Structure formats: structure tokens, C-alpha cells
Structure 1
Amino acid sequence: MKRLLLIVALLSPVIVLAQKTMPKTFDLVVGAYTKGSSKGIAVYRFYAETGRVAYLSQIDGVSNPSYLCISSNNKFVYAVNENDEGEVSAFSFEPKTGALKFINKVSTLGGAPCYVSIDKAQKSLFVANYSGGNIAVLPLNEDGSIAPAVQTIRDPGHGPNAARQEKAHVHTAVLSPDEKYVFYTDLGTDKINVTKYKAKKDNPLTPAKPAFYSIAPGGGPRHIDFSADKKHLYLIQEMGSAVTVFDYDNGKLTQKQTVTLLPDGFTGSTGAADIHVSPDGRFLYASNRGDANDITVFSINQENGELTFIDRKPSGGKSPRNFVIDPTGSFLLVANQNSDNVFVYRIDKNTGKLMQAVSRLDIGSPVCLKFAPAQ
């Protein structure tokens, strides 16, 4: 009996650690356009064992919080205000209750900000201004508030599509896995720009060598994600409705494969949007809007990072602008902007395919989904 108790005592810390590392409940923070029924940012409790979603709280009066990021300590939420004047707002966040409290708001020095990211040290925010055509860097204070922008970078180029690429349109700003670089895509100039990052008062971003990589003219680069082994970068082309695979090594990219998101013979309108690698690194998912309204699933070759088509699943609504995979890798949640809903699909972890939806959340114009541990 004493020996059994000793074994249990030795194993208990391991069990507690595992539970702390991968919780079973999360906070789901939802950003939305407020031109319709949505009034701001909503927070829900997500149960990773069942895929069930329960309402927690909402903060009203936030104008068009179309994209969000959450600080690494889960104490702060930052949301762009996607308007012509261009602003970004800071909120304190209480994971236990999901409560948000406004801290401050500052200019992004560019119109229609559509993406915001944060470094793990919580020193800087990086904002992509779509109509402003520039990336902005904004320092963060210890209390979570945002300081005025200290740097903006704008590409004066353009692309071949006169209607969509008349000037620069920066769409995303993503840190490299080691956070030594910031990559920002430019839909208007068909480029992935690469900058070195160092948190400091002046010019935290400096051009890498090379400073950019071009894709096929008219492709319209949008979002990116890295492979689990950090050896590959995946780019979704909004206008080209394709995914391009790059080898990645210390800030440098080598293009190696491009695969379409469209079935043979497809002739409708499209608008590829979001892209994510599964937590186990085995599968890649990409969303497409327009007349497609689906999620495409690819397997990832673990040796070379290349993609193989697996399946295509309707998103459950119209315009799947953004989606997220829960940290356990069990569910994919897709935000359908133009049908005012979020569908929760179970993932078959063996095949990567999306199974039948297990729950649905009705919310006005959802466009961004982010997870945080529920403490």
C-alpha cells in the first residue's frame, strides 16, 4: 500500500503539469464589424472536450474591432479600429470572467487597419494599415496602454490589377518564430516584406537582406503561417486563391510550391482569406470567400513542407473571413462574416478532415477569433 501511494505521489506533479500546459477550457474572443448588429468585442467560454460555446461578456462602443491579438500573459487585448482614420485600442482582460475594460486608443498613422500582432515580451504592437498601405510599430507601456507610433513603413509600388492594386495595401504583420523578424504582406505590390526587429525607441524595424520576396503578379498576398518545425512559411493569395509554400531559414525565403484552393472548372468569384497550420503540424487549412465559401484541407509533407490536397468543406455560411483551430487541435471554428455566425467543426485528427459541425454561434459580422487560456 505504501509503495502504491509513493507511485501516485511521484506521478501527481506530472499530471498537474500536463493539465496546466493544456487546459480544457478557453476564452474565445471575437472581433466584429459594428456596422450591423454587433456592438463591439464579445467573449465566450469554449469547452475543448465537446466544442460547446457559452457567452461570458461583451464590451460595447468599440468601432469596427475587426482584428485582435492577446498579450502573452493574457492580461491585455488589442483591437484595430478599422475605419478611415485608423486607430488601435487597448483593453485589460480578466480570463476568469472574460471581462474587458477599455484602457486607451491611439492612431495607427494609416487608414483601415486590418491586422495587429504583439511580441511575446509585450514591447511592441505591429499594425497593418490596408488603405494606408503601411505597417506601423507602436510601443507598449507596462500598464498595457499603447504609446504613439514610433515608425511607419510604406511601399510606393503597385500591381497589375488596377482596381485592387493601384497602390500598396499592407494586409498582415507576423513575427518570425524566434521574433527576430517581422514579415508583412502587401496585397497591392504582390510582395512579402521582411524586416529585422529589435525593440527600441527609434526604428525598431530595419530592412532585411533581401528586403522582400515577390509572388506571381496579381496574386494579392494576404495572411501567412509557419510550419510547426519552423522550416517553412505558408502564404495565402487573396486574389489568386492559392497557397504558396516557402522554405524558411533565418529570415530568408525560398519559394518551392503553389497549390490552388479551387476545384477543377470553378468559375465563380473568390477571395481567399485565412490560413493556419494544425497544432500537431500535420495539416494546413485555408478559407475562401466569394462564391466558394469553404475551407480547404491539405496534408503537410513532414520532410519538405509541401502540400497535398485532402478535402474541401463548406464553411456553413457566407464569407469565411477568419477561422481558428483550438489549442488542443480538436476543433476548427470559422467566422462567417456575411451570414452572422460562427460554426464549430470537429477535426478528425487522423485524416485532418472537418467532420460535422457540433455547435453554432450567432453573432453579427464576426471577422476575428482568438483563444486564450481560461484561468
Structure 2
Amino acid sequence: MKKMLLALALLAPMMMNAQNKKKGPKTFDLIVGAYNTDNSKGISVFRFYAETGRLAYLSQSDDVPNPSYLCVDKTNKFVYAVSETDNGEVYSYSFDPKGGALTFINKQKSAGASPCYISVDEDRKHVFVANYSSGSFAALPISEDGSLKPAAQVIQDKGTGVNKQRQEGPHAHGAFLSPDEKYLLLTDLGTDKISIKKYDKGDSKPLEPAPVDFVTVSPGSGPRHLDFTPDKKYMYVVQELTGAVTAFEFNGGKPKQIQSITMLADGFKGAVGAADIHVSPDGRFVYASNRGDANEIVTYAINSENGMLTFIDRTPTRGKAPRNFVIDPTGAFLLVGNQDTNTINVFKRDPVSGKIGNMVASTPVDKPVCLKFTPAM
């Protein structure tokens, strides 16, 4: 009996180590898109240490003007970025997760003006681009070597909204694949529409109308970004112009609105500029950022029975214009890119309560507007 207890005691640390290894990596690369300044001219890469929340600079690519949004393919070997200019372009890079280096492959026209969003499917067949100023969306095929081909399909939105200053025409703001990648959802700030397209990755023109062609939100809302729960049941859309979050049952590509909840504090009278939204990895919480005069992250709890949101807390981002933010893959931290104060601030996050805690680190980065994680080697 004593020998058995001794053996178990000796095995216990080994079992603990094995369990810790199964929890996944603790080191990641953070790839940052930004608007160009004299000090920053492209995409930056940082090493993120999930035990502490610390960021360490690795590299920078200086060959893309205004890389305001980017995406990483599922293999973590390729990065795609928009160049938000009047003559919009899309850039492709190979990525070395060991050293964090980006190597330019090629570029193509985005088939519109001021591209501000890009996404890629899991099989790396297409990237999807939202061209803000021209109000158009484009699908660009991808070659085996990761290079981009010219746009295979362009969808031009039409219409206006009630906000004459911001909705004088269509303004494409996002192109989001559904979790099963059967649909592409296109948000248009200028027309208050979320268009829905069926996606066939094997087709030369991969997008076609879905059974429900589009859904609308309240006039003057300005839908910007959206995210899904991991179980694919619910979709949450952040409204830039009104500072609201709109909840939908996704219904297999036939969204049904179930709620609209404000991001604004009682009595708030300042400028509104809601920007980004993310569902927590466990599907229990929604986080949304508001720029303008608020400069905060708002936290909601998700009712697992019906998808409805309940306000939990609001957290100042300790900077101005939190255009983009991200939850780290471990769920322990939330990182915010404050565009106008040139910082990426790292906050502790409580996975149980969902609340955002103290800021644990701040890294200077000029005009950070897009943050994407990928595993480091």
C-alpha cells in the first residue's frame, strides 16, 4: 500500500504537467493594423505573453498604406490586409510564426474605394472585402501559394439612410462569414442593411442571394461589425451611429431580431461612435467598444436560453477612440487599440463574471486600429 501511495505521489506532478500542456499555448503573436504616420508605416507584430499580458515588439512591414484591417488564415501561414485608400488594394503576406516576420507576396485592387474590412474562409479559397466609400463588397480568389487573384465578384449596394451626414449613400463596413461558412453577412452603415449571401467556395462567382436577402435595423443605426455565439444560434451587431447592440436569432441564415440594447450610460449626451463587438470564447458574454466621448468597453451577459443581453459593466479604455479590441485566446485578457492616443492597453478579464479588471500593460503603437491573434512557435 505504501509503495502504491509513493508511486502516486511521484506521478502526480507528471500528471499536472501533462494537464497544463493540454491547456494550449501561452505565447501568441499579435498582428496589428494601423493608419500610417511618420513613425508607423505598416503592419506591426508583437509577441504576447499570456501569463502576464505583456507585449514585446517583433517586426514591422512598411510596404502597405493604411492597413486598417487584416485577417489571418486558419493555418496561420498567411496574412491578408486592406489598404484603405481611394484606390483601394488588398495585400497578401506569408507569415513566420517563429520570428513574427511578414513577407510580401502580392497585391490586387479591392474593386472599390477605401476598403475597411477583410475576412478569409477556412479553406483559403477567397478573401472578402468591404469597400466603405464606394459601398461595394468584393470576393477575391486565393491561389495555392497564398497569392491573391483579381476580384471574381463585386456586389454594389445602393440606397441611403436618414442620417444625411453619414448615410448619404451606401457605406460597406464588414463582410462576415457565418460559423458554418454557408453564408456571408454584409453590413452597410449607409443603408441600415445587413445583406445575406449564400457562399459556394467552389464556384467561380461564389456569392448568390440567400433565401432572406437582407435584414434591416432601426433607421439611422449604422450597422458596423458583428459576431456570433460559438453554438451558431445568435448574432450580435454593433450600431455605430446610435451606440446600440442588436441581437438576432440566426435561424440558419434567416436572422430574426430579438433585442436592441443601448451601450450608452443613463443621461449620456456626448458624441457616439460605436465600433467593435466580440463574443467571449465560451459564448457567455458580449463586449462592444464605443469611441466618441465615451471611450469605453461595455459588457453584457448572454442568456443561454434565448440569446437576450443584460448589461453588466462599462470600462474606460484609458485612451481615445477604441476602434478595435480583442480577447486573447486564453480568455484572461482583453486588449484595446486606442487609435487617437496611440496605445494598445491590456486589461485583465474575469472569465467567470465577465467583468474587465485592471489595466496590466500599455504598449505605444501609432494609430492601432486592428488587432489579430495567432499562435506563436
TM over 0.5: yes
Partner of 1:294: 296
Partner residue of 2:244 out of 235, 242, 245: 242
Partner of 1:256: 258
Partner of 1:318: 320
Cα deviation per residue 1:210-251 (whole Å; 9 max; x = unaligned)? 100000000000000001221100000000100000011211
Contact 1:236 1:273 in 2 (8 A): yes
Partner of 1:48: 50
Partner of 2:306: 304
Residue identity in the other structure for 2:277:
I
| Inter-partner Cα distance in structure 2 for 1:59 and 1:236 | 31
Partner residue of 2:150 out of 115, 132, 148: 148
> Percent identity, aligned pairs only?
57
SS in 1 for 2:340: helix
Contact 2:117 2:130 in 1 (8 A): yes
| Inter-partner Cα distance in structure 1 for 2:109 and 2:118 | 13
| Inter-partner Cα distance in structure 2 for 1:282 and 1:312 | 17
Contact 1:37 1:365 in 2 (8 A): no
SS in 1 for 2:36: coil
Contact 2:243 2:290 in 1 (8 A): yes
Shift of 1:199: 1.3
| Inter-partner Cα distance in structure 1 for 2:372 and 2:124 | 17
- Gaps of at least 5 residues in structure 2 are none
| Inter-partner Cα distance in structure 1 for 2:341 and 2:243 | 21
Contact 1:118 1:126 in 2 (8 A): yes
Partner of 1:274: 276
| Counterparts in 2 of 1:13 and 1:321: CA distance versus 1, 3 Å | same
Residue identity in the other structure for 2:134:
G
| Counterparts in 2 of 1:320 and 1:36: CA distance versus 1, 3 Å | farther
Residue identity in the other structure for 2:181:
E
Range with bigger deviation, 11-20 or 215-224: 11-20
Alignment of 1:177-216 (within 5 A): 177-216=179-218
Partner of 2:368: 366
User: Which segments of structure 1 move beyond 4 Å, counting only runs of 4 or more?
Assistant: 1-18
Contact 1:150 1:201 in 2 (8 A): no
Contact 2:245 2:260 in 1 (8 A): yes
| Counterparts in 2 of 1:259 and 1:123: CA distance versus 1, 3 Å | same
Partner of 1:29: 31
Contact 2:172 2:187 in 1 (8 A): yes
| Inter-partner Cα distance in structure 1 for 2:190 and 2:200 | 27
SS in 1 for 2:255: strand
| Counterparts in 2 of 1:21 and 1:151: CA distance versus 1, 3 Å | farther
Partner of 2:62: 60
Contact 1:174 1:183 in 2 (8 A): yes
- Gaps of at least 5 residues in structure 1 are none
Q: Does 1:102 align with 2:104?
A: yes
SS in 2 for 1:49: coil
Contact 1:89 1:105 in 2 (8 A): yes
TM-score by length of 2: 0.95
| Inter-partner Cα distance in structure 1 for 2:13 and 2:217 | 52
| Inter-partner Cα distance in structure 2 for 1:17 and 1:85 | 51
Shift of 1:168: 0.9
TM-score by length of 1: 0.96
Partner of 1:126: 128
Shift of 1:265: 0.8
| Inter-partner Cα distance in structure 1 for 2:71 and 2:146 | 13
Contact 2:37 2:366 in 1 (8 A): no
SS in 1 for 2:90: strand
Partner of 1:159: 161
| Inter-partner Cα distance in structure 1 for 2:73 and 2:152 | 20
Residue identity in the other structure for 2:153:
Q
Cα deviation per residue 1:27-81 (whole Å; 9 max; x = unaligned)? 0000000035311111111011111111111111321000010010010111100
Contact 2:173 2:189 in 1 (8 A): yes
| Inter-partner Cα distance in structure 2 for 1:80 and 1:2 | 61
Cα deviation per residue 1:182-210 (whole Å; 9 max; x = unaligned)? 00101111011100001135220001011
Contact 1:36 1:364 in 2 (8 A): no
SS in 1 for 2:226: strand
Shift of 1:167: 1.1
| Inter-partner Cα distance in structure 1 for 2:179 and 2:217 | 22
Residue identity in the other structure for 1:102:
F
SS in 2 for 1:19: helix
| Inter-partner Cα distance in structure 2 for 1:337 and 1:95 | 26
| Counterparts in 2 of 1:63 and 1:8: CA distance versus 1, 3 Å | farther
